[in-house]
Amino acid sequence: MVRVKFILPALTEATSPYWRPIKYSLFPPLGLATLAAYLGPDDEARIVDEHVIPLSGDDEPDLVVIQIYITNAKRAYRLADHYRAKGVFVALGGLHVTSLPDEAAPHADAIFLGPGEQTFPQFLQDFRARRPARVYRSTAGRTLDRLPPVRRDLIDRRRYLVPNSIVVTRGCPQHCDFCYKDAFFAGGKSFYTQRVDDALAEIERLPGRHLYFLDDHLLGDRRFGEALFEGMRGMGRLFQGAATVDSILRGDLIERAAAAGLRSLFVGFETLSPANLAGSNKRQNLGRDYAAVTERLHGLGVMINGSFVFGMDDDDGDVFRRTVDWAIAHGITTATFHIQTPYPGTRLFARTAAAGRILTRDWDLYDTRHVVYQPARLTSEALESGYDWAYREFYRWSSIAQASLSHGSIKHQAKHFFYAAGWKKFEPLWDVVIRAKQLRAMTPVLEGVLSKVTAKGDRLPVSTSTLVAENIHPSQVEVPSRL
Ligand code: B12
Ligand code: SF4
C-alpha cells in the first residue's frame, strides 16, 4: 500500500494584484487525477490543488507527486525540498520539468518528461520494487487506449465552476514556434486521440450538461471529431472547446460540433499581421479570412473567445488599436490578450535567446502579462502599457455594446453584452460566490447561458430578470479562456 499526495502548487499569482479567484476556481487538476488512476485499489491518494485548498506540509506520505507549470515552478521546488528534507520520495513532472529537466532534477528523486500515461505506471512498478529510476522519459508507444478512468472521485467538485473539464486528445497537429507542444511531446507522437467509444464513455460518466474540452485543438482530427460529435448528438450536452482558424473554415466539422452542443470556442487568431504569422510558423492561419471565421461561428450561435498575442516582431505602436478595433467590429465575445512569451523549450525561446533578446529568466514573470524579452519595434514599457490598454478598451461598456451590435438577432446581442460585460465588470460577485462555496449552484446558470441562441429555439435561456433577481449576472459565468 502506497500513500500518495498529488499537489498542484499555487501559481505565484495567488499573491499578486492580478490574482482572480474565479480564474483559478474554473478547472480541477485533471492531469493529476489522470495519474492517480494508475494507483492500485489499496493505495491511498489525495489531490491538493493549492489554488482552492490550503496546503499543509505537516504530513509524511510515502510519495509526493507535483505538477509544474512555468509560473508555479519556484513554489513547486520549495515544496519538493520541504518533503525531501523529511525523507519523502518526490516525483516532479509536467510542462516545465520537461522543458528544463536540469533545473528540476536537484529538487526531485525522480523527474518525468512528457505525458505521464506510460511513464507513471512504469514508475509505480519500480517504486514498489524499490528501484525507481531518476528520470522517466516518455518516448515511443504513446497511446490513450485503455486508460483507467480519471480519478474524479479525488476532486472536490464543489470548489470548481467547471468540474466537468475533459481532454479526449493530446497535443496538436500544428507546429507554432511559440507553443509548448513540440517540446513537451518530443520523442514520440505529438497528436493522438482517445478511442471514440472511450471518450463517449467518459462523457457519459460526467453529471450535468456542461462540458469544457481542454484539448489544444478539438477539431484537429476530422475523423475523430466527426465520430465524437455524432456520438454526442442527442446527449443534450453543452460544451466549450478550442480550435484553429483553418479548421473552422474547412469542411463541415464545425457544424457537426454545433449540432452536438458546441456553444463557445477559443480561437487562436493571435495576430492580424501575415509577417507575424509567417515569423512564428503559424501557417494554418496564413491567408485565412478571419472575418469568415467569425461569421461562420456567429451563424451557428457559437460565441468566440479570441486569443491575440502582442509583441511579435512585426508589431509596432498601432497593433493594440488595430487588434481591439478588429475584435470589436467582428463581434468577438471575450478576448484573451497575451504579451508574447518565449517559453523555455520552444523554438521561439531558442531563437530569442540566441539573439541575446531574453531580458529575464525569472519564470514568475512568464505569465504573458510581463515583457520578458526585447521586442523588435516597441519598447518594453510601450508593450506592457499597450497590453493593459487593450484589455481596458475591449471591456469598456461602449466597446462591449458595439461588439454586441454586430450580431443579427436582439437575443444574440443581449447575450453577448451580458457575457462580456460580466466577465470583467462583476468580479467581486464571483469572489462572494467562491467564498460562500456556492460555485456548484452556478452550474445550472452556466448551462442556461450556454444554451442555444440561434436558429430553432432562438431564446435567451435564463431570463435576465431571473438572474437579476438572484443577483447573478449572466455574463459572470463566461468561462473565457484556456489559459
Ligand atoms: C487548464 C489550464 C489552465 C488552468 C489550470 C487549472 C488546473 N487546475 O489545471 C488555468 C486557467 C488556471 C491556467 C492558467 C495558466 N496557464 Co494554463 N493551461 C491549461 C491547459 C489548457 C490544460 C491543462 C490540462 O488540464 N491538460 C490536460 C492534462 C491531462 O494534461 P497535463 O495537465 O499536462 O498533465 C499531464 C502531463 O503534464 C503529465 N504530468 C503533469 N504533472 C506530472 C507530474 C508527474 C510526477 C508525472 C509523472 C507526470 C505529470 O501527466 C499528465 C497526464 O499525461 C493547458 C494546455 C494543455 N494542453 O495542457 C494550458 C497551459 C498549461 N497553461 C499555460 C500557461 C502559460 C498558463 C498561464 C501562465 C497563462 C496565463 N496568462 O494565464 C496561467 C498561469 C497564470 C499565472 N500567472 O501563473 C501554458 C504552460 C506553458 C508552460 N511552459 O508551462 C499551457 C501549456 C498553455 C499553452 N498552450 O501555452 N491554465
Ligand atoms: S495551433 Fe495552438 S496548440 Fe497547436 S501548435 Fe499552434 S499554438 Fe500550439
Q: Could you tell me if 61 and 171 lie in one domain?
A: no
26 domain-assigned? yes
pLDDT, residue 429, reads: 73
Tally of CB atoms within 10 A around 98:
25
Q: Of 384, 410, 436, which closes a domain?
A: 410
Q: Exposed, middle or buried by CB within 10 Å (0-12, 13-18, 19+), for 42?
A: exposed
Q: Could you tell me if 108 and 178 lie in one domain?
A: no
Binding site membership of 170 for ligand 2 (Cβ less than 6 Å)? no
Pocket mutation for ligand 2, best pick of 182, 190, 244, 347 (most atoms within 8 Å of C-beta): 244
Q: Could you tell me if 114 and 225 lie in one domain?
A: no
Of ligand 1's listed atoms, the one at least distance from the Cα of 178 is 90
Of ligand 2's listed atoms, the one at least distance from the Cα of 244 is 1
Q: Of 356, 378, 410, which closes a domain?
A: 410
* Cα→Cα distances 153→33, 36, 70, 75, Å: 9, 10, 27, 26
Å from CA of 69 to ligand 1 middle = 6
* Strand order, beta sheet including 63-67: 44-49, 3-8, 63-67, 89-93, 110-113, 135-137
Q: Could you tell me if 402 and 331 lie in one domain?
A: yes
Q: Could you tell me if 101 and 169 lie in one domain?
A: no
- Residue 21, Ramachandran bin (φ over 0: left; ψ between -120 and 50: alpha; else beta): alpha
pLDDT digits (tens, 9 = 90+) for 226-257: 999 999 998 999 999 999 999 999 999 999 99
427 domain-assigned? no
Q: Could you tell me if 256 and 356 lie in one domain?
A: yes
Nearest to 112 by CA among 126, 96, 128: 96
Number of domain units in the chain: 2
φ, ψ at 414 (rounded to 5°) = -65, -40
156 domain-assigned? no
Of ligand 2's listed atoms, the one at least distance from the Cα of 216 is 3
Identify residue 304 by its one-letter amino acid code. Answer: I
Å from CA of 291 to ligand 2 middle = 20
The CATH number of the domain holding residue 171 is 3.20.20.70
pLDDT digits (tens, 9 = 90+) for 416-439: 887 787 666 666 677 777 777 777
pLDDT, residue 216, reads: 97
pLDDT, residue 432, reads: 73
Binding site membership of 338 for ligand 2 (Cβ less than 6 Å)? no
DSSP letter string, 435-452: HTT-HHHHHHHHHHHTS-
pLDDT, residue 54, reads: 85
pTM, two decimals, is 0.91
In sequence order, which ranges of 208-318 are alpha helices (DSSP H)?
222-232, 245-249, 253-260, 274-279, 290-299
Of ligand 2's listed atoms, the one at least distance from the Cα of 270 is 7
Nearest-ligand number for the alpha carbon of 191: 2
Q: Could you tell me if 293 and 251 lie in one domain?
A: yes
Å from CA of 467 to ligand 1 middle = 32
Binding site membership of 210 for ligand 2 (Cβ less than 6 Å)? no
Nearest to 208 by CA among 474, 441, 483, 33: 441
Q: Nearest C-alpha to atom 7 of ligand 2 is from which residue?
A: 179
Domain housing 86: 3-137
Å from CA of 298 to ligand 1 middle = 29
Per-residue buried b or exposed e for 307-346, using 16+ beta carbons within 10 Å of the residue's own CB: bbbbbbbbbeeebbeebbebbbebbbbbbbbbbbbbbbbb
Give the whole-angstrom CA distance, residue 80 versus residue 109. 9
The residue with greater pLDDT, 149 or 478, is 149
Q: What rounded mean pLDDT belongs to the chain?
A: 89
Give the whole-angstrom CA distance, residue 265 versus residue 302. 7
Nearest to 328 by CA among 350, 301, 306, 347: 306
Q: Looking at the predicted structure, is the pLDDT value of residue 472 above 50?
A: no
Å from CA of 325 to ligand 2 middle = 24
The residue with greater pLDDT, 355 or 158, is 355
pLDDT, residue 270, reads: 98
pLDDT digits (tens, 9 = 90+) for 132-177: 999 999 998 999 998 999 999 999 998 898 999 999 999 999 999 9
3-state SS class at 181: helix
Q: Could you tell me if 213 and 97 lie in one domain?
A: no
Sign of CA dihedral 112, 116, 119, 125: positive
Band of pLDDT at residue 76, cut at 50, 70 and 90: very high
478 domain-assigned? no
Binding site membership of 244 for ligand 2 (Cβ less than 6 Å)? yes
442 domain-assigned? no
In sequence order, which ranges of 206-285 are alpha helices (DSSP H)?
222-232, 245-249, 253-260, 274-279
Of ligand 2's listed atoms, the one at least distance from the Cα of 180 is 8
Q: Nearest C-alpha to atom 3 of ligand 2 is from which residue?
A: 216
The CATH number of the domain holding residue 71 is 3.40.50.280
* Residues near ligand 1 (Cβ within 6 A): 8, 11, 13, 23-24, 26-31, 34-35, 49, 65, 67, 69-71, 91-96, 99, 112, 115-117, 119-120, 167, 179-180, 214, 216, 343, 367-368, 482-483
308 domain-assigned? yes
Identify residue 168 by its one-letter amino acid code. Answer: V
Span 319-344, average pLDDT = 97
Q: Could you tell me if 402 and 323 lie in one domain?
A: yes
Q: Of 410, 443, 477, which closes a domain?
A: 410
Judged by average pLDDT, the poorest of 324-328, 376-380, 458-462 is 458-462
Q: Nearest C-alpha to atom 2 of ligand 2 is from which residue?
A: 216
Q: Could you tell me if 227 and 168 lie in one domain?
A: yes
Nearest-ligand number for the alpha carbon of 176: 2
444 domain-assigned? no
Nearest-ligand number for the alpha carbon of 202: 1
